[in-house]
């Protein structure tokens, strides 16, 4: 994964200082469990960094248009996704973290004063993508016997009690994924 380095300017090291940053990040593929989401266009992000005294607070949003394959009918579909970015960086290693924070909720600002925003953009998107991607809630899926897309045509196969093949096979979604144009 390509880094997205955000260098913290000296001005942010005064208490109550605040800076806004925005830009684009080309994330081609986001891997969420068995599912892959591709982004034909770069993500756009908009973040604020503020100095709380002992720490830098990172907040903001990231947006993109994700494409994946439907877990039921395997057809590719796209949808807009917006994630909430959150980070908390202690300015000095020996500063005390707030009492209500778990250890994984904060980091120590690296010595070069540079944060890799890419990690935070991905984490924000991972919270927003669906557990099971469906082209639409009522997607009829494919016939497990003859394989027709039941959203587009019907077939005369006997109904089966088993789940459709696609729902059981986490790799089925990989089949139609457009990796690039």
Q: Quick one: 40 or 155, whose CB is closer to Zn ion?
A: 155
Q: Residue 64 CB, nearest distance to Zn ion (Å)?
A: 21
For 15, 93, 136, the CA distances from 101, given in Å and listed in that order, are: 20, 15, 38
Q: Quick one: 127 or 157, whose CB is closer to Zn ion?
A: 157
Q: Which one of 98, 155, 170, 175 is in contact with Zn ion (CB under 5 A)?
A: 155
Q: What does the alpha-carbon distance between residue 131 and residue 164 come to, in Å, rounded to a whole number?
A: 17
Q: What does the alpha-carbon distance between residue 89 and residue 122 come to, in Å, rounded to a whole number?
A: 18
Q: For residue 170, which of 140, 137, 143, 133 has the smallest C-alpha distance?
A: 133
- Among positions 72-101, residues that touch Zn ion (CB under 5 A) are 72-73
Instruction: Tokens 């994700």: give the residue.
Output: 66
Residue count at the site for Zn ion (CB under 5 A)?
10
Radius of gyration of the chain (CA): 21
**Exposed (0-12), middle (13-18) or buried (19+): which is 160, by Cβ within 10 Å?**
exposed
- Lay out the site mask for Zn ion across 110-149 (x = CB under 5 A, - = otherwise): -------------------------x---x---x-xx---
- Lay out the site mask for Zn ion across 56-75 (x = CB under 5 A, - = otherwise): --------------x-xx--
Q: Quick one: 38 or 122, whose CB is closer to Zn ion?
A: 38
User: Which positions lie near Zn ion, rule CB under 5 A?
Assistant: 70, 72-73, 135, 139, 143, 145-146, 155, 157
């Amino acid at each position: 994964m390509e880094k997205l380095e955000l260098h913290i300017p000296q001005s942010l090291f005064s208490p109550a200082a605040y800076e806004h940053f925005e830009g684009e990040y080309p994330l081609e593929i986001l891997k969420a469990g068995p599912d892959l989401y591709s982004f034909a266009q770069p993500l756009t992000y908009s973040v604020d960094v503020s100095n709380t005294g002992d720490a830098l607070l990172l907040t903001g949003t990231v947006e993109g248009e994700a494409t994946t394959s439907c877990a039921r009918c395997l057809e590719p579909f796209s949808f807009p996704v917006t994630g909430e970015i959150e980070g908390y960086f202690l300015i000095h290693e020996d500063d005390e973290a707030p009492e209500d924070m778990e250890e994984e909720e904060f980091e120590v600002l690296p010595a070069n004063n540079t944060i890799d925003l890419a990690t935070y953009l991905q984490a924000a998107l991972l919270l927003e993508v669906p557990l099971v991607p469906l082209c639409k809630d009522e997607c009829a899926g494919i016939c497990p016997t003859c394989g027709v897309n039941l959203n587009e045509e019907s077939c005369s196969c006997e109904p089966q009690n088993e789940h459709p093949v696609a729902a059981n096979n986490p790799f089925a979604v990989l089949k139609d994924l457009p990796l690039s144009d």
